[in-house]
Amino acid sequence: MVTDRKEYRRLDLQMVAMIDDARKRLAEDGMKFDKRVLINGFSAQGMFANRFTFLHPDRVKAAAIGSPGGWPIAPVEKYKDKLLRYPIGVADFKTVAGKKPDLKASTQGALFIFIGGKDENDSVPFGDSYDDEDRDIINPLFGKMPVDRWPISETLYKQAGLNAEFKIYPGIAHMVVPLMRDDIRAFLLRHK
């Protein structure tokens, strides 16, 4: 988000432009669509779906977010007196996104955030997802494994008043199984 490399900066805005372009082209064929989209992602795609939803809550009708890098964004600035900078939380959201997080708009979109009970795939240890200072906050404060962090995430989303359903699929590792696909499909159909 704040990289000096122009080609990587603000991929979220590229996505908004793509959505608007598709809507315009479809309108030329007589089809009209809501500017809000349904978004689905798992693993790195789940991280993108989670981050895009926070950056553009007015553009997301519903989001299915699976195993988002071991930690869904906390909809708070602080937890236990620790400042949660983006993408752990939203403390520096204005610096990153150019605006304050719109949690009121975020409550209008529906979220389905899920993980397998044996999912040990974690982006927190890797520098392309989190910095050292992020790890120094996430691991001691929320837990060393993604599944350990899940109950805290769920509580923070509920406390923020977000329309979020959290689910852990027992016995499932880092993969999307047919039951998950069925649940994703049912969730997105409920919110189309």
Q: For the segment 90-112, what is each residue's pLDDT rounded down to a tens digit?
A: 999 998 888 888 877 776 889 99
The pLDDT of residue 3 is 67
Token pair belonging to 72: 């869904």
Domains of the chain by residue range: 34-190
The pLDDT of residue 49 is 95
Give the gyration radius of the chain's Cα atoms: 17
Residue 130 has pLDDT above 70, yes or no: yes
34-190 folds as Rossmann fold (3.40.50)
| Lowest-confidence segment of 50-64, 72-86, 119-133, 148-162 by average pLDDT | 119-133
Half-sphere exposure of 119 toward its Cβ, with a 13 Å CA cutoff?
Answer: 29
Single pTM value for the model: 0.91
